[in-house]
Amino acid sequence: MTLRREAVLLLSGTKFERVARSAYNSWRDRLPAACLSADAARARVYDRQTIAIARMALFGGGGNSIDVGANCGTILNALVKLSPRGMHWAFEPIPNLAAQLRRRYRQVTVEQVALSDHTGIADFHFLPAASAYSSLLSRPEVEAGKDVQLIRVDVRRLDDVIPEEVPIAFIKIDTEGGEAAILRGAVRLLRRHKPVVVFECAPSALDECMVALEDAGLRLSLLPDLLEHRSRPVAEVRKLGLEGGEFYYAASGA
């Protein structure tokens, strides 16, 4: 682990986290891939692909977008720049991160809630030393040996938050395991507007996400395929994704 990455972890959960992450990402983006760990190199590729797909979806600078699991705003920052005339929503249940996003992006509607397929109140598993791994779910394999704080959060469905008359062009979802439930809670929005969706997904949850996407009339893709306008049968996308250990997928109108 680099000293820069260690600094990010030390500052995670503090008011300096956003600045530390921004500096780390800027440094990471300038390095040759050979100088990065496998995980860091892959994360950089995913970020770049996500932003490239968002650029396609938000073409013209006036499209509306949603960032679910905005964390420190890395992708949100790109969305605002890509579509300065658009309406943008960011969902981040961690209080200090939500507050930072509100201060930095006054043109964005920042909701301090967790999204799922139901409405209520729940315990959110917050990892102060690694906030990006915090989740609405209990994940012993991730939480082992780490400080975990349970914080009470409001839980909403995306269908109940976004006004029906607002057309959404792009959605990013990265919520450490909650993606399938979020898709189920957004099925009306997805059916209505057929946005491009980029989402993180563990191999064990891919089939569950696929069911929700198919119910909404969206077609699963690998990120490079969507960028290159290449279409594959969904069964082939699933096979390639699982065999290649992919954690990020895209979906768009079939």
- pLDDT tens for each residue of 52-106: 999 999 998 899 999 999 999 999 999 999 999 999 999 999 999 999 999 999 9
Long-range contacts of 137-144 (CB under 8 A, 24+ apart): 137/176, 137/177, 137/178, 139/176, 139/177, 142/176
**What pLDDT digit, counting tens, does each position of 199-233 carry?**
999 998 999 999 999 999 999 999 999 999 999 99
Residue 223's H or E segment, with its range, is: helix 223-227
Helix, strand, or coil here: 152? strand
β-bridge partners, 142: none
Residue 153 confidence (pLDDT): 96
At position 137, the amino acid (one-letter code) is L
Residue 1 confidence (pLDDT): 44
% of residues, the chain, pLDDT over 90:
71
Residue 141 confidence (pLDDT): 87
**Assign residue 113 a region: left if phi > 0, alpha if psi is -120 to 50, beta otherwise?**
beta
Q: Higher-confidence residue: 209 or 132?
A: 209
CA distance 245 to 27: 26
Running DSSP on this structure, what letter comes out for residue 63? Answer: -
Residue 2 confidence (pLDDT): 46
Task: Please say if the pLDDT value at position 30 is more than 90.
Answer: no
CA distance 133 to 116: 17
Distances (CA, A) of 98 to 39, 65, 90, 102, 143: 26, 17, 9, 6, 22
For 177-205, what is the mean pLDDT? 95
Task: Please say if the pLDDT value at position 187 is more than 60.
Answer: yes
For 176-188, what is the mean pLDDT? 95
Residue 53 confidence (pLDDT): 97
Residue 7's pLDDT band (cuts 50, 70, 90): very low
CA distance 87 to 109: 8
Measured at the CA of 178, the angle between CA 250 and CA 57, to 5 degrees, comes to: 25
Rounded to two decimals, what is the model's pTM? Answer: 0.85
Task: Please say if the pLDDT value at position 16 is more than 70.
Answer: no
Residue 213 makes CB contacts below 8 A (sequence gap 6+) with 183, 190, 197, 219, 220, 251
β-bridge partners, 115: 156
Residue 43 confidence (pLDDT): 82
- Domain CATH for 43: 3.40.50.150
CA distance 126 to 246: 25
Domain that holds residue 32: 3-253
CA distance 216 to 213: 5
Task: Please say if the pLDDT value at position 40 is more than 50.
Answer: yes
Residue 145 confidence (pLDDT): 84
For 146-158, what is the mean pLDDT? 94
The domain tally of the chain equals 1
Task: Please say if the pLDDT value at position 146 is more than 90.
Answer: no
Running DSSP on this structure, what letter comes out for residue 207? Answer: H
Binning the chain into helix, strand and coil, the percentages to the nearest 5 are: 45, 20, 35
φ/ψ of residue 178, rounded to 5: -95, 10
| Neighbour tally for 106: CB within 10 Å | 8
At position 226, the amino acid (one-letter code) is L
Residue 111 confidence (pLDDT): 97
